[in-house]
Amino acid sequence: MQFKLILAWVGIIGALLCAPGVGAQQTNADAVLLQMQQAYQKGDTHRLTALLPQARGHLLEPWAAYWELSARLTEASDDEVQQFLTTYQGTYHEDRLRNDWLLIVGQRQDWPNFAALAGAYRMNDDPEVRCYTLAMEASLARVNMADAVKARWYSPKGAGDACLLAARLHFEAGHLSATDVWHKARLATERHQTLAAQQAVAMVAPDSTALLLEALGDPARFVLKRKPGGQAVVQELAVLALTRWAASDPDAAAQALQQRWADRLNEAQRNWVWGTIGKQATQKLSDNALRYFANVKPKALNDDHLAWHARAALRQQRWDRVLTAIDAMSADAAKDPTWTYWRARALLQPEHSEAQTQQARTWLRGIAGVSGFYPMLAQEALGLAIVPPEAPAALTAQEKERARNNPGLQRALAAIALGLRSEGVREWNYSTNLHTPGGMNDRELLAAADLACQSAVWDRCINTSERTRSVIDLAQRFPMPHRDAVLARSRDIGLDPAYVYGLIRQESRFVTDARSGVGAAGLMQVMPKTARWTARKIGLSGFKTSQLADSDINIAIGTGYLKLVLDDFAGSMPLAAAAYNAGPSRPRHWRGQVGAPTLEAAIWAETIPFPETRDYVKKVLANTTVYAAMISGQTQSLKARLGEISPRDATSPENRDLP
């Protein structure tokens, strides 16, 4: 199968890159493209300008031209920019450069030019550009866009200069209140975004920089030594100090709030502090979390604090409090499959009426399916088997041909084949998602995914197929490359191959040369230190970390480590997945102390403090269930795979040597 895929890939790339009579000249142009990318990364504008003529006529010429102009865009003239936009009209590179130019024009606050450019902007996916648009509307049109500003500025990624400018202009125009700005400071403090907190406070209390640094630098001292009351600014800074302190010691922060500040803060301030203390206590698995949340009415909490309120209640199996927290969420938050599922589960408890039970089943039917962790659990809660959906109608020759002839997809595959993966992925995503309003329709997405699959570009195959709305093609969404190696190695060491596939799909999307920001490499994203340790354990002599790029070696190392982790956690797939992602010591702690209650693993997974690991565990187990059905041809149970998570047993041996 692999040999056939390689042949197919060679044929496609040959067709994409080779025009009649090109030959060695094309190879030289490929080298020029790679040199230009390296020069772009180094900011070598002179080298880029010198090389650009040699890239003319190449399929990836738009990338070469983009790099050359983008590298010197701050000094470029309006005419140069317009010439590029005209020459490469309709391409990703035109809109990418327009995006970059909008950021520069917005930074200059040249609103007439910004308005003229923004109308043709197709991607509309850059939050900074959106914030400059909001700033323009406040400055040029005097339009009140406060709600849109808050939605962007309050988001975790809303700490950039553009969103700050939009907020400042709306604040100066009276569209944002001081309370709105202080709320941003609280959010930034809770997220450890100190600079963003300082910028927000500078808008409403410009003379309080020293006090703010005191509050954030030594929050315990500020809370305990600063005299309660006095100026309103001091009360707001106390809220920030308590927020910061709660991250390290929620119990101490709660005590200080009760004893010193509760009577001096207004209701909204107290509600915020209790919410963040409850959140931090939940993340530390403290039994006090629900008691802290009880100090504030649920409707006064924001959605994030309510989510942690619900998780605290789940961990203590207080179904009444689970229901209370979810009922208080906004409509958008509550309709997330996570909270739809747990809301239904809360109503399915014995104390509820038949009418409530029927309501719960209605909610479960609304999300049930095979498209994710909670849809699968909902399917099982309804007593329905997890079975593959009916495959979509086969693609026609014409649909496949249109995908092959799509210029953006052609360039994307050519870039990936040349080693320009980041550039290829960006152009692929643009072509499928953003080139036209709403992106490709389902049949077009299936055809594009098929093209990626046939080209063995598995990450684009999976991600593109996952975007379909009315149909599901499991063969595209859950491919099985390296099948012989995965099945043989897994069975040799006693691992479920579906579990290995579920993990690889989440780790790398089957990109053999994938490398994370912290150095994890290859299909199974193994860290070099872990790889060396595992190689010794499994008797792989002469191993070098450069071999992690070899798929067979990577699978051998990754499965070897996974088996050791799984054995250490007595065969628990959720615990082993968490350990693979976050290291073994953390899930050991997350199990709870000796004497803590045994939890169904779905509850345990939802209450993992790290968002990345929480998402990872759920996706790996959902992936595993689908792959098991595909490999075995039999109905599978996600709930059975999850099992239960018991607390740590002081008498059970633990392999503390595991990296």
Q: Would you state the pLDDT for residue 652? A: 62
Q: Which domain holds residue 500?
A: 483-645
**Dihedral (Cα; 111, 114, 118, 119), 10-degree rounding:** 70
Q: Are residues 500 and 638 in the same domain?
A: yes
Mean pLDDT value of segment 491-509: 97
The reported pTM is 0.93
Domain assignment present for residue 591? The answer is: yes
Domain assignment present for residue 451? The answer is: yes
Q: What CA–CA distance (Å, rounded) separates 583 from 530? A: 10
As annotated, the active-site residues are 507
Mean pLDDT value of segment 416-433: 96
Q: Are residues 570 and 613 in the same domain?
A: yes
Q: Are residues 562 and 515 in the same domain?
A: yes
**Has residue 1 got a pLDDT over 70?**
no
279 burial class (0-12, 13-18, 19+ CB within 10 angstroms)? buried
Q: What CA–CA distance (Å, rounded) separates 555 from 538? A: 12
Q: Are residues 495 and 453 in the same domain?
A: no
Q: Would you state the pLDDT for residue 480? A: 97
Q: Are residues 527 and 633 in the same domain?
A: yes
Q: Are 442 and 469 contacting, i.e. CB atoms less than 8 angstroms apart?
A: yes
Q: Are 85 and 94 contacting, i.e. CB atoms less than 8 angstroms apart?
A: yes
Domain assignment present for residue 25? The answer is: no
Q: Are residues 517 and 628 in the same domain?
A: yes
Mean pLDDT value of segment 115-138: 93
Domain count of the chain?
2
Q: Are residues 472 and 511 in the same domain?
A: no
**Has residue 158 got a pLDDT over 90?**
no
Q: Are residues 541 and 639 in the same domain?
A: yes
Q: Which of 1-5, 54-58, 309-313, 413-417 has the lowest mean pLDDT?
A: 1-5
Q: Write the pLDDT tens digit of every residue in 429-471.
A: 999 998 888 899 999 999 999 999 999 999 999 999 999 999 9
Query: For residue 85, how many other CB atoms are within 10 A of its CB?
Result: 18
**Has residue 180 got a pLDDT over 60?**
yes
Domain assignment present for residue 351? The answer is: no
Q: Are residues 469 and 489 in the same domain?
A: no
The rounded mean pLDDT for the chain is 93
Q: Are residues 527 and 492 in the same domain?
A: yes
Question: What's the start-to-end Cα distance of the chain, in Å?
Answer: 35
pLDDT tier for residue 23 given thresholds of 50, 70 and 90: very low
Domain assignment present for residue 505? The answer is: yes
**Has residue 17 got a pLDDT over 50?**
no
Mean pLDDT value of segment 294-313: 98
pLDDT tier for residue 6 given thresholds of 50, 70 and 90: very low
Q: Write the pLDDT tens digit of every residue in 560-594.
A: 999 999 999 999 999 999 999 999 999 999 998 87
The CATH number of residue 526's host domain is: 1.10.530.10
**Has residue 229 got a pLDDT over 70?**
no
Q: Are 467 and 586 contacting, i.e. CB atoms less than 8 angstroms apart?
A: no
